[in-house]
Amino acid sequence: MVAFSPASTGALPHGYCFLWQPGLIWLHAVSDSLIGAAYVTIPLSLGQFIRQRRDIPFNWMVWCFVVFILACGATHVLDVYNIWVPTWWLSGGVKVLTAAASVPTAILLYRLVPRLVALPSPQQLQRINDKLAAEIAIREQAEAALREEHAELEQRVQARTRELAAANASLRLLESAVQQASDAFTVTTADLDAPGPRIVYANPAFSRITGYETNEILGRNPRFLQGPATDRAVLERLRQSLDAGESFAGETVNYRKDGTEFWMNWRVTPVREGDGQVTHYVSVHRDVTERRDLEAQLRQSQKLEAVGQLAGGVAHDFNNVLTAIRGNCALLLQELPAADPRAELVQEIDEAGQRAARLTGQLLTFTRRQVRRPEALEFNTVVEGVLPMLRRILGERVRINFKPGSGLGLVWGDRGQLEQIVLNLAVNARDAMPAGGALRFETSNVELSPAYAGLHMSVIPGPYVMLAVSDTGIGMDSDTQQHIFEPFFTTKPPGKGTGLGLATVYSVVKQSKGNVWVYSEQGVGTTFKVYFPRMPGQAEPAERAKRDEPGVVPGRGHVLVVEDDPGVREVTVRILRQAGYTVQEAADALTAQRLIADPAQPLDVLVTDVVMPRMTGKALADAVRAMRPGTRVVFMSGYTGGVLEEQDLLEPGAMLVAKPFTPWGITQAVSEVLKPVAGS
């Protein structure tokens, strides 16, 4: 065993206390070495812990404990050293340091014990952890539910956004449609008591129809459009319907800003809130003036057609009577010497018959049943041919001016009827200028557009020849203009007019598929515009037809006269016999067939009425030709060839003599059909 000598201080090593017994010395040396090593290792672990857990609230206590443990470890290391080398002053200093560290540590640890005791146990921590885990799970569920609700809310927001976008688009479309609609829309308040509803909205169409600007409309009562011609009964029914909360539709005359009248069709509908309370009225307005005008034209046309059917039947029957009267007068005048006083009476009877024939001719023209001989005509020639007669009829107080159109197209019509149009319009103008004035005729080629046709019923767009007849007379009011083409309508005093002049003009024009319109202002004058369809190409105008002449056209041949009217039949037979023909007569088609069936009876010409009982003249002619090929046929009728052809009563191109006819007219027709026979 090694022994150390005492230090210079005189102190002895600790080994003396162990009597330098090796076992005891190494027991203490190893124990103190291990304790010192442990005391040094423990602070290192605690220091590492504190550096990583800076959040521990009492880490200062740990640092005190670290210092205390290190000091304690140092004392044990020195105890090992002091076994051989006495360093008791150093050991004492270390122990003082240990005491300085241990006493505060003990005090602080004592004060820290309640806080340490309050620290939860592992079971408590487990329960806390379990509770926290449950709360976390609940929170996660809540967060998941919240996310689902958020996603659903987002979907709802997106759907609502799309709905709002669609609603806004629909509102913009509705606003655009209302703003651009041709019908007028207004919205008014629901105040029915005085001062009444006020307009709070009006679309541009309302301004366009009424002529008022928007700032002149808003805030006003809709009654500002009403006037003297507005139907108060309709307005009263409107008020009753609105009082009952019902819609109402009607038509009334309203007035534009410039004072002109127009017909308005309107429908007023209540606007209700969710509780059913009426808050506003919405009204849809439409200008139906054009439709009203067309309806009036249609009613006028139907009225003229009805009167025409009645007048046509009377005129046709009367023509048979006139045929007998005028035919017999012509025969008597041929037999009576010119100096015979009875000849003058017969002449007066014949002249009266002529006037009656003209009257029935006008009636038949009006009813489109007069015999027409249409041909290609140039209107300038027609007017120029009538002007000399017009100057004699109208007198010097009426100044006539004619402006013929250049390059005027041809029209297809009856020359006599076109002359009658010119004459009737001229006479009508003269009567409108009792103090005299100017009468102007003008012709031109015109093209009627689809827009014009849309405003005038029955007008077909296309090329026309126009005849305008203007006067400087007294003019006509609108009510008179609505009736001027009606038969027997006249503004002249009794005995001064038949009321057929303009009706005849209207009928002739319509019969030629043309149109006639009147423009007139009181105190200014009147203009009639007559439109005839213009013929295509450059056809040559027909030469003027020959007029009837007195006497008869002599001839030879065998003629069969078939007529159910005794007076017409007898006078026809007399005229033909006087002209030199051998004549047989039959009162009906059956009798005529029996006569024709006799081969001993020669036959050159069949003169037959068109409309007869049991068999028509056309059917009889067909039967005669079947039995007697080569037989010529002359038809007699008071109806027009066009009407008879439309009803399949007359074959196209047939020889037709109009009733009432003169001796020259019937004999000239028979002579005409016999010409091929005479030349064969």
For the chain, the domains span 14-118, 181-287, 375-544, 558-679
pLDDT at 138 over 80: yes
Q: Give the mean pLDDT of the chain.
A: 80
Continuous H helices in 119-197: 122-180
First to last CA, the chain: 193
**Per-residue confidence at 603, pLDDT binned at 50, 70, 90?**
very high
| Residues 557 and 605: beta-carbon distance below 8 Å | yes
- The least confident of 11-20, 257-266, 480-489, 533-542 is 533-542
Report yes or no: 347 and 333 within 8 Å, Cβ to Cβ.
yes
- In angstroms, the Cα distances linking 330 to 179, 346, 391, 622 are 77, 8, 31, 32
pLDDT band at 277 (very low <50, low <70, confident <90, very high): confident
Angle CA 245–249–250, to nearest 5: 135
Compute the average pLDDT of residues 164-183.
82
Q: So what's the pLDDT on residue 680?
A: 44
Does residue 347 have a pLDDT over 70? Answer: yes
pLDDT tops 60 at residue 132: yes
Q: Are strands 184-189 and 525-533 parallel, antiparallel or unpaired?
A: unpaired
Q: Is the dihedral of CA 571, 577, 579, 581 positive or negative?
A: positive
φ/ψ of 544, rounded to 5, equals -65, 130
What is the dihedral sign for C-alpha 467, 473, 476, 482?
A: negative
* Enclosing H/E stretch for 654: none
Q: Does residue 281 contact residue 270 with C-beta atoms inside 8 Å? A: yes
| DSSP secondary structure string for all residues of 415-461 | HHHHHHHHHHHHHHHHHT-TT-EEEEEEEEEEEE-HHHHHHSTTPPP
Q: Residue range 239-268: average pLDDT? A: 88
Phi-psi domain of 441 (left: phi exceeds 0; alpha: psi -120 through 50; beta: other): beta
What backbone phi and psi angles, to 5 degrees, belong to 530?
A: -110, 125
**Domain 375-544 is of which CATH architecture?**
2-Layer Sandwich (3.30)
CA-to-CA dists, residue 227 to 207, 217, 252, 261, 377, angstroms: 18, 16, 10, 9, 50
504 or 427: which carries more pLDDT confidence? 427
Give the number of other Cβ atoms within 10 Å of residue 37's Cβ: 13
Length of the chain: 680
Q: Is the pLDDT of residue 37 over 70?
A: yes
pLDDT above 70 covers what percent of the chain?
A: 84
Q: What is the pLDDT of residue 305?
A: 60
For residue 272, what is the DSSP state? E
pLDDT at 368 over 60: no
pLDDT of residue 605: 93
Q: Is the pLDDT of residue 432 over 50?
A: yes
How far does CA 447 lie from the centroid of its chain?
Answer: 26
CATH superfamily of 181-287: PAS domain (3.30.450.20)
Tokens of 246: 């019902």
Please check the confidence at residue 558 and state whether its pLDDT lies above 90: yes
What percent of the chain has pLDDT above 90?
11
Task: Return the minimum-mean-pLDDT range out of 199-208, 330-339, 579-588, 652-661.
Answer: 330-339
pLDDT confidence band for 645 (50 / 70 / 90) = low
pLDDT of residue 307: 58
In terms of Cβ atoms closer than 10 Å to its own Cβ (0-12, 13-18, 19+), residue 472 is buried
Q: Is the pLDDT of residue 301 over 80?
A: no
Residue 677's pLDDT band (boundaries 50, 70, 90)? very low
Instruction: Name the residue among 578, 597, 592, 536 with its Cα closest to residue 666.
Output: 578
Cα angle value 336/341/344 (rounded, 5°): 80
pLDDT tens column, 195-218: 888 998 888 988 888 899 988 888
Residue 546 binned pLDDT confidence (cut-offs 50, 70, 90): very low
pLDDT value at position 531? 92
What pLDDT does residue 549 have?
57
The rounded distance, in Å, linking the Cα atoms of 455 and 124 is 102
The beta-strand segments (E) located in 165-258 are 184-189, 199-202, 248-255
On the question of a common fold for 181-287 and 558-679, the answer reads no
Q: What pLDDT, on the 0 to 100 scale, is given for residue 14?
A: 74
38-47, 133-142, 298-307: least confidently modelled range: 298-307
pLDDT at 234 over 80: yes
Question: Given pLDDT bands bounded at 50, 70 and 90, which one contains residue 477?
Answer: confident
Q: Which of 316-320, 375-379, 612-616 has the lowest average pLDDT?
A: 316-320
Three-class SS state of 386: helix
What pTM did the predictor assign? 0.41
611, 636 contact by CB (below 8 A): no
> What average pLDDT does this structure show over 171-194?
82
**Residue 678: is its pLDDT beyond 50?**
no
Pick 639 or 613 by higher pLDDT: 613
The answer as to CATH 3.40.50.2300 being correct for domain 558-679 is: yes
Among 55-64, 184-193, 276-285, 300-309, whose mean pLDDT is lowest?
300-309
Provide mean pLDDT across the span 28-40.
81
pLDDT greater at residue 612 or residue 341: 612
Q: Give the residue, 583 or 107, on which the prediction is more confident.
A: 583
List pLDDT tens digits, range 495-541.
555 567 788 788 788 888 888 888 888 887 888 999 999 988 654 55
- Please say whether the dihedral angle defined by the alpha carbons of residues 340, 345, 348 and 350, taken in this order, is positive or negative: negative
